[in-house]
Structure 1
Amino acid sequence: MKYLLPFEKSLKPLYKELEEKKKNWEATNSIEEKIQQELKKIYSHLTAYQIAQIARHPDRPNTASYINALFENFIELHGDKKSGDDPSIIAGMGSFNGSTVTVIGSRKGNTLKDMLLCNNGMIKPEGFRKIARIVNLASTTFKSPIITFIDTPGAFVSKESEKKGQIEAVSKPILALFKAKVPIVAVIIGEGISLGALSMSIADKIIMLKYSFFSVISPEGGASILYNDRKKTEELASSLKFTAADLLNAGVIDKVVNEPIGGAHRNKEKVIKATGDAINNELETLLKENEKQLKTNRIEKYRKVGIYAD
């Protein structure tokens, strides 16, 4: 493994031993079995914050991974028609199981250069306006279903962003998604935090990967604000109820895609295929609904979020 998470450090000597004995087939088989046993032990009792760490794993499949594997003839679209393009958002048209769809997703970048260019997935005002523009194109011009992939730490916070109208820009994709005349499926593939995630998660159906999370704030940010103490990050993470299991139970999301023990990065092809199957199943149902049904059901879905009984 290139990168082990803090709570996976017990695997380090096993991987070291595996590397040393890689020419001995019988020995490597035995070590690999030990690694799997240790992984099962670790992943049998994960905390909410550990799930957040898995969601942020640098080797986890990203939006580009899903686009390359699931969509044929993808054509990327750029710009917000006002101030420029935001590389943290990738959007365009492609073919999914033989039908034209619109794809929008967050982009963090793989190399250090790309990460800096994309602000590690933090969205600028032009990015939010870009999402809104592509949603409107899909809804009124192409009349194609919309699929979003969410993996963002939130909006990009800076003086420049404020000067460009960050808050007003955030509202545009949210409104556009609510008004869209076509089916929308949102997929949370990693971290989904704050307004950055919300700008792509107004959907008819929301799918989450098992080890992703969806939250109003990052656990680190919440601990700093509420307690002025980042050491309370893990404690706050459990209170935020942001895991796929929590949100499915609360009715915020509609489906959870399973991941292998150890996370999606340990079997990318299998997870991407399972995600594609889940998207296809949701679209098959949604395409049977007319425009009025879609918009009415979408609004009612979000009106119910947060309702509770004493």
Structure 2
Amino acid sequence: MLTPLDFEKPIIELEAKIEELRHLSHSDDININKEVGDLQAKADRQLRQIYAKLTPWQKVQVARHPNRPHLRDYLSALIDEFTPLAGDRLYGEDAALVGGLGRLYGRPVVVMGHEKGHDIETRMRSNFGMAHPEGYRKAQRLMDLADRFALPLVSFVDTPGAYPGVQAEERGQAEAIARAIARCLELRVPFVSVVIGEGGSGGAVAIATANRVLMLEHSIYSVISPEGCASILWRSAENAKDAADALKLTAQDLTRLGVVDQVVEEPLGGAHRHPKETVETVGRALETALDDLRGHDGDALRRERREKFLSMGRSGLT
């Protein structure tokens, strides 16, 4: 079942009517193809109109949609021979950040990313995609592996942010994130990252300080969630819509600001309506980005990555 968003309700009602007519046609041997076709065209037209002018807050809702493809969907569809690697060799395993070795269209890669989970059980186990320090230390371990064996690195970003609990802070959350970012900047292999849902704060940047940063069309990427920003500035989460407007967190805004290199288009109606097609599109975009980086030597890759991030904020902000 597709979880409806508030602004999608007229479309959901039309689609329910279409399904009802299709069921009636099959059961009673009635040919109502023309009526179904007309309703489908109307639904597609409304969907196109709605998604052509989504507000930042509506994009936040789409980015968080539970039916949106998650890391496990990308791994199962794109990464052959995936071999997960667990633990940080310091404290333990963190299910919120998954990584390992595999092949992307035959190309050996190290892959990692945030996993939110699909149901209550998996969401609880993965802590809703909010990694602990051991998750970011595992990420550093995977980066070391990529460097050691000269393997391209691919990361999938989908997190509200790093877990802010007391135990995480006691185990050095800020230090783990800082070291992960620093390790990203030292890599001598091609590194491509894609924001597939939410890119929240340092928890996202820790595995997204890449040579190429891609972003799905209706995903978001920000230093803080709209609710968190509203709580600080307006002392109320009810101003989350205002915060979303001010944060410039959409893929289109961030491309204009030079934070993101490429927007990956989603199918009509968003990734949650067409997860398989979205995964395939992301796979092709990753392959193209890695092809563009092929042949660059380690020093050039490292230098380009460092200059890319150090130059952010110096221009294009007016």
Of the three residues 62, 65, 74, the one matched with 2:82 is: 74
Distance 1:204 1:45 in 2: 30
In the TM superposition, what is the alpha-carbon distance from 1:45 to its structure 2 partner? 1.4
Distance 1:194 1:53 in 2: 17
Equivalent residue for 1:7? 7
Equivalent residue for 2:105? 97
Q: How many residues align?
A: 309
Equivalences for residues 123-142 of structure 1 within 5 A: 123-140=131-148, 142=149
1:121 lines up with 2:126 in the alignment: no
Distance 1:92 1:16 in 2: 41
Task: Classify the secondary structure of the residue corresponding to 1:49.
Answer: helix
Distance 1:272 1:12 in 2: 23
1:57 lines up with 2:68 in the alignment: no
In the TM superposition, what is the alpha-carbon distance from 1:22 to its structure 2 partner? 2.2
**Amino acid of the residue matched to residue 72 of structure 1?**
D
**Worse overlay, 14-23 or 39-48:** 14-23
Distance 1:210 1:44 in 2: 11
**Amino acid of the residue matched to residue 184 of structure 2?**
L
Deviations 1:71-112 (A, max 9, x none): 110000000000000000110000112221000010011110
1:42 lines up with 2:54 in the alignment: no
Of the three residues 111, 117, 120, the one matched with 1:109 is: 117
**Worse overlay, 125-134 or 31-40:** 31-40
Equivalent residue for 2:212? 205
Distance 2:55 2:129 in 1: 25
In the TM superposition, what is the alpha-carbon distance from 1:29 to its structure 2 partner? 2.7
Distance 1:217 1:132 in 2: 23
Equivalent residue for 1:217? 224
**Amino acid of the residue matched to residue 111 of structure 2?**
V
Of the three residues 293, 297, 305, the one matched with 2:304 is: 297
Give the aligned CA root-mean-square deviation in angstroms. Answer: 1.4
Equivalent residue for 1:244? 251
Task: Classify the secondary structure of the residue corresponding to 1:52.
Answer: helix
Equivalent residue for 2:285? 278
In the TM superposition, what is the alpha-carbon distance from 1:3 to its structure 2 partner? 0.9
Sequence identity percentage: 38
Q: What is the TM-score of this pair, normalised by structure 2?
A: 0.94
Structure 1: which 4+ aligned runs deviate by more than 3 Å? none
Equivalent residue for 2:264? 257
In the TM superposition, what is the alpha-carbon distance from 1:167 to its structure 2 partner? 1.1
In the TM superposition, what is the alpha-carbon distance from 1:175 to its structure 2 partner? 1.4
Distance 2:126 2:106 in 1: 31
In the TM superposition, what is the alpha-carbon distance from 1:119 to its structure 2 partner? 0.8
Distance 2:192 2:49 in 1: 34
In the TM superposition, what is the alpha-carbon distance from 1:210 to its structure 2 partner? 0.4
**Amino acid of the residue matched to residue 65 of structure 1?**
D
Distance 1:176 1:44 in 2: 38
In the TM superposition, what is the alpha-carbon distance from 1:62 to its structure 2 partner? 1.0
**Amino acid of the residue matched to residue 106 of structure 2?**
G
In the TM superposition, what is the alpha-carbon distance from 1:237 to its structure 2 partner? 0.6
In the TM superposition, what is the alpha-carbon distance from 1:231 to its structure 2 partner? 2.1
Deviations 1:8-58 (A, max 9, x none): 122232133223222225243332222112212211211011111111111
Distance 1:253 1:163 in 2: 33
Task: Classify the secondary structure of the residue corresponding to 1:129.
Answer: helix
**Amino acid of the residue matched to residue 206 of structure 2?**
S
